[in-house]
Homo-oligomer: A and B are copies of this chain.
């Protein structure tokens, strides 16, 4: 921590700050500049309310030096964490695609979607049973009945599923059914929910809040790791900006920033991130090219009749195209697609692979399974 003093700060004011720092357990190192004095404070106490020092006379501002998070940090652990959802590894060499409807509406819709996304190569099913809706008059989800449908579909298709939990009181119920718990963007700083979800030991998919900085997002993840649960996947889903041609602004640099600072896997949701199915494919490709470990994609067998997020849901045929395109990009950046029994594979022979830290794995010869776009 650096304490920056005001230009006219007196020796007494500087001494008082140094004394207060020592009280707080820091060692104080003043540097007397020509215009301003700054005081370096040595000590690794992160969580102190040291910002309150700004109220001492003569203090201009406080500059933190240490990152506010520890457990999620690459400084603590510099190998990538691999999270397993129903046996599917997220965060390893291969890309993982989680797909399904925004909301579980009925069993037919869910089965149709699940088979379609599985056949196209998705490895994990997504679907909401508890829905956070901006309006109290919108469809709020099938709740436990939706969870039961998801479980039945998992049994038949073999696809593990991730679903959102909204309320601390529902955590045990959702954890009983789901392979992974999703914390939605609007709950990213619902710290009680983070703790309860973490305490289940289940993998947690933590969406970025729509006005959260990457640092706040990592601190939210820190809450979960602090419960002893390292199985956290971060999910970039767009932030609020002034731009209105898309529903949110997908911040793909955040993928690179997370990779620079944390060992946790990070995936991208191009459906919420754009709010418009026309833009889902290019942004899905871009996400993988930026280094994301996977995608979360909304697919609906009949988007025009969807009860939720129809405008951003892909028709299954378009999703097949998405999988093809994403697979090609995954290979181009030195990664492939994680396999599931029906998953398509693409030949990498002769295809140059790039991507930091991924150059060591050996070339694999894989079969090409083509399908009409």
Give the copy number. 4
Instruction: Check A18 for interface membership: any CB of B closer than 8 A.
Output: no
Give the residues in chain B near A333, CB-CB below 8 Å.
Answer: 285, 325, 328-329
Distance between Cα atoms of A307 and B40 in the complex (Å): 22
**A242-B245 in contact (CB<8A):** no
Distance between Cα atoms of A239 and B244 in the complex (Å): 13
**Quick one: which of B253, B289, B308 contacts A273, CB cutoff 8 A?**
B253
**Quick one: which of B29, B38, B56 contacts A304, CB cutoff 8 A?**
B56
Give the residues in chain B near A245, CB-CB below 8 Å.
Answer: 213-215, 253-254, 257
Closest to A346 in B: B352
Instruction: Check A255 for interface membership: any CB of B closer than 8 A.
Output: yes
**B351-A350 in contact (CB<8A):** yes
Closest to A313 in B: B55
**B354-A347 in contact (CB<8A):** no
Give the residues in chain B near A20, CB-CB below 8 Å.
Answer: 304
Closest to A284 in B: B289
Give me the interface of A with B, judged by CB distance under 8 Å: 2, 4, 7, 20, 29, 31-36, 38, 40, 42-44, 46-47, 49, 51-56, 63, 65-66, 68-69, 75, 132-139, 166-169, 186-187, 189-193, 209-211, 213-216, 219, 222-223, 226, 239-246, 249-257, 259-260, 273-274, 277-279, 281-283, 285-291, 303-308, 310-311, 313, 321, 324-325, 327-329, 331-333, 346-347, 349-356, 359, 368, 370, 373
